[in-house]
Structure 1
Amino acid sequence: MRIQRILATTAALTCLAALSACKGGGQAAPPGEPAPSGSSASSASSGAAGDAATEGPLVRAQQYLREWAGCENLSSKADDPRMPRGDFPKAGQWSVTEIGVCSTTAEKSDIVIAVPKDTKAFQEGYKQYVMDRLKGGDAGYGHESRVLIGKGFVAFPTTATTAMKLVRSDLRVLVCNPGGQVPEGYKREKPLVEGCGLTDFVSAEDGSGSPNFETPQNPSGEEKLGQPKNGSLGLPRAGSIAELRKLVGNSLDCPKNFSTDPEAVAIESIDYQPVIKGNALEWGVTGRALCGQPAGERRAHDLSWLDTVGDMKKLQTKAKAAQQADLKDDGKLKATGSLLLVGENIAVETNSPSSRFGLYQLQFLYLNCMPGFSAPSGYRLEKSQVEGCVLTNYEPDHPLD
């Protein structure tokens, strides 16, 4: 979920602080705000040839950016159509000595690079620019900042998707709008100027930025087919790992391949990763077993984990944090990571959609902490024991038939 706010009327905006692409009506998208689709990255292949420089601060910045989002066809030519055309960044402004631009590959977007001689002077200049925009009536300016501070350079990605990739590095978003908020779970670091902040939270009004996990996602209470007004429609329970193994039956590879040996239970593979990491007791789990083949003629396969749970709230709280950490990179869960399906006092971790289908028939429900998630009528959607998550049998990628 994104942080909601009221932006000033966009029709009044000029092409100040513009990057290469323009919004509808001929207005340019300024650095610090997302560019529209179909930006000028494609122009790189049709006209702007990269400079032949092989060293220097721009090249070093390019090498760094390549590790995280790609940065191809680097150019410092003033006539490169990808160069910014607005108020900033400009050479000679805010101690900036060089300006360059490169293009990503996956997003087909651009990244402008500014090299300031004095990083503090740059941050002071940007802060003053934001203050001037606020005084001019543009109350929302800077909320969706695309000004990313690095070591020796500043990057201006044109899309939130690229910005999210870059903040996985040491680059941080410079936010100088006093109303800018950083949700829990994201970094809050001090810049070189008072009144601003550095963060790895990327805000975007269209929802393409970093997820905001502070907004609870529990059901709103509206009546939906298949949803209880209060409590639960019922969840399975078991008194022991042995009972749980019998309960899941043939939904998992438990009848033939089953172990409670701690060394076997700790096994995971690149294709099968559990939800619970480390000491299971710290997750509120009292007993754990492994179903599947941990080794043999081929590498580990068909792995799933069974859990008896002494503290379900603790398990869901830890699982929520793990899910958020996974989502934070690109807004998606790892395909090889298991989902946590819970009962009253038991849980199952599996990344097999077919196994989960069988478990849903046994009334297990999946702990889903995705921002904005909702389930269609006919699917179960119940409150979890932690804010910001729901229990459901609906998976958008694998709907029940």
Structure 2
Amino acid sequence: MRIQRILAMTATLACLAALPACEGDTATPASGAAPSSGVAAPAGGKGSTAVTLAGAQQYVRQFTNCDDLSAEPGDPRLPLTEFVGVGEWTVTQRGVCSDSAKDGELVFYIPSDMKEFQERYKRSILESSDGSRGLFSRVFVGKGFVVTPTSTESALALARSELRILYCNPSFGAPKGYKMDKALVEGCGLSDFVNTEDGKGSPNFETPQDPGGQKPGQPAQGSLGLARAGSVAELRELVGSSVDCTRFSTDPDTVAIESIDYAPVVEGNALDWGVTGRALCGEPGGAQRAHHLNWLDTVGDMKKLQTRAKAAQQADLKDDGKLRRTASRLLVGENVAVESNDPAVRFGLYQQQFLYLNCVPGFSAPTGYRLERARVEGCVLTNYDPENPVVGGN
């Protein structure tokens, strides 16, 4: 597990490396009124008078400590990495103060054009090759100012104010019980939910739910259709366009092979997972390093397979809140499954009516992706891949 201080500074550096990812703009009230220039007026005041760093500090102090405010560009409390400064992204002032009780700092930005600021942030999220960029935003938006706390405790304190966190990652969805208001830029939202990789942010007791026909394009019950095959050989032929099965084996010893780069979902006796037939595609290694490993399964008990896979997925998440990149994801059909850690393979399988078993608490899929009921409670089947969103849709 990471040390809390390292987590806090990492979040800050990520935010400041692309400032909009850590900063936000104004919220639209739940009533649907048009967005204003901000969420919270400095020092709790009303109106849109000129914002100052001192005024922003005064407002923030109602909820958390903010001492020794400085606007010096060389202040050692600012991260050393590249970040947006005065004169960029319409930022006219930047400052930093300390929340020593929560072991962190708060960095302030005052942009002259909040909408442009949000637009630049959104662009940095969408242009990033990292599909998780912006999921753990610390960009709190106020009336005419933005503040980015480095400490999760500070963020939780600010979430109780009228400030809202700017989220522009399309895979983010606020859990039930939290706000998700409109931002000034289409495709972004403002929320009071503090999302963290280590689970120490806002409490989230929501688990993935079947859409029940409420999500556009989804069936009220049942499925839009899933892949099926009568045997391992038939499954190999079915997925041939997506999975390289030039090297193919059903030998139990070969199928049991895994490497530091490729970890299967099913481990031990496959029958205990409800799997009736199993094969390995790819180079299992030996003189050379293993590569392109994917496992094909015929399934006699899909509920048992999904139950065991859910437990394995949640065990993987316990360490740092993320799934290992070397761990395969389970894509299921009606009576078949494929285990793969290759995003390109998964993309091809989505087109062939396989869906990914996702059991991550609070997961949601953006409009346009499939989301169907799994055989086990707390999981869903989807073709949305949060780690590789570009290749996830139909």
TM-score w.r.t. the length of structure 2 is: 0.51
Unaligned runs of 5+ in 2: 1-56, 78-97, 108-149, 155-191
Contact 1:294 1:303 in 2 (8 A): yes
Residue in structure 2 matched with residue 350 of structure 1 by the alignment:
340
Rounded Cα–Cα distance in structure 2 between residues aligned with 1:83 and 1:26: 13
Residue in structure 1 matched with residue 174 of structure 2 by the alignment:
none
Task: Pick one of 362, 367, 382 that aligns with 2:357.
Answer: 367
Rounded Cα–Cα distance in structure 2 between residues aligned with 1:83 and 1:362: 54
**1:385 CA drift (Å):** 0.7
Task: Pick one of 45, 61, 78 that aligns with 1:26.
Answer: 61
Rounded Cα–Cα distance in structure 1 between residues aligned with 2:365 and 2:61: 40
**1:279 CA drift (Å):** 2.0
Contact 2:279 2:296 in 1 (8 A): yes
Residue in structure 1 matched with residue 195 of structure 2 by the alignment:
207
User: CA-to-partner distance for each residue in 1:308-351, whole Å, 9 max, x for gaps?
Assistant: 11111111111111111222222221111111000111100001
Contact 2:228 2:333 in 1 (8 A): yes
Superposition pairs for residues 153-164 of structure 1, below 5 Å? Answer: 158-159=151-152
Task: Pick one of 296, 300, 308 that aligns with 1:306.
Answer: 296
**1:296 CA drift (Å):** 4.5
Task: Pick one of 217, 241, 246 that aligns with 1:250.
Answer: 241
After superposition, the Cα gap between the structure-2 partners of 1:158 and 1:297, relative to the gap in structure 1 and judged at 3 Å, is same
Q: Secondary structure at the match of 1:270?
A: coil
1:263 equivalenced with 2:256 (yes/no): no
Equivalent pairs: percent with the same residue? 60
User: CA-to-partner distance for each residue in 1:91-149, whole Å, 9 max, x for gaps?
Assistant: xxxxxxxxxx8x99xxx9xxxxxxxxxxxxxxxxxxxxxxxxxxxxxxxxxxxxxxxxx
After superposition, the Cα gap between the structure-2 partners of 1:247 and 1:219, relative to the gap in structure 1 and judged at 3 Å, is same
| Alignment-mate amino acid for residue 253 of structure 1 | D
Rounded Cα–Cα distance in structure 2 between residues aligned with 1:356 and 1:292: 15
**1:250 CA drift (Å):** 2.8
Rounded Cα–Cα distance in structure 1 between residues aligned with 2:193 and 2:369: 29
| Alignment-mate amino acid for residue 369 of structure 1 | C
Residue in structure 1 matched with residue 367 of structure 2 by the alignment:
377
Contact 2:204 2:362 in 1 (8 A): no
Residue in structure 2 matched with residue 331 of structure 1 by the alignment:
321
Superposition pairs for residues 198-237 of structure 1, below 5 Å? Answer: 206-208=194-196, 210=199, 215-237=206-228
Contact 1:44 1:82 in 2 (8 A): no
Q: Secondary structure at the match of 1:250?
A: coil
Rounded Cα–Cα distance in structure 1 between residues aligned with 2:263 and 2:299: 19
| Alignment-mate amino acid for residue 26 of structure 1 | R
Q: Secondary structure at the match of 1:323?
A: helix
Contact 2:213 2:219 in 1 (8 A): no
**1:377 CA drift (Å):** 2.8
Superposition pairs for residues 91-106 of structure 1, below 5 Å? Answer: none
Task: Pick one of 306, 312, 321 that aligns with 1:316.
Answer: 306
After superposition, the Cα gap between the structure-2 partners of 1:239 and 1:393, relative to the gap in structure 1 and judged at 3 Å, is same
Residue in structure 2 matched with residue 134 of structure 1 by the alignment:
none
**1:376 CA drift (Å):** 2.6
Contact 2:250 2:280 in 1 (8 A): yes
| Alignment-mate amino acid for residue 284 of structure 1 | G
Superposition pairs for residues 70-85 of structure 1, below 5 Å? Answer: 84=101
1:288 equivalenced with 2:316 (yes/no): no
RMSD: 4.1
Task: Pick one of 376, 382, 387 that aligns with 1:392.
Answer: 382
Rounded Cα–Cα distance in structure 2 between residues aligned with 1:159 and 1:224: 32
Rounded Cα–Cα distance in structure 2 between residues aligned with 1:242 and 1:321: 29
Higher relative contact order (CA 8 A, sep 6+): 2
**1:365 CA drift (Å):** 0.7
Contact 2:209 2:379 in 1 (8 A): yes
After superposition, the Cα gap between the structure-2 partners of 1:44 and 1:332, relative to the gap in structure 1 and judged at 3 Å, is farther
After superposition, the Cα gap between the structure-2 partners of 1:205 and 1:395, relative to the gap in structure 1 and judged at 3 Å, is closer
**1:375 CA drift (Å):** 2.1
After superposition, the Cα gap between the structure-2 partners of 1:298 and 1:230, relative to the gap in structure 1 and judged at 3 Å, is same
Count of residue correspondences: 238
Q: Secondary structure at the match of 2:308?
A: helix
Unaligned runs of 5+ in 1: 1-21, 47-80, 86-100, 109-156, 162-203
**1:257 CA drift (Å):** 0.4
Contact 2:303 2:375 in 1 (8 A): yes
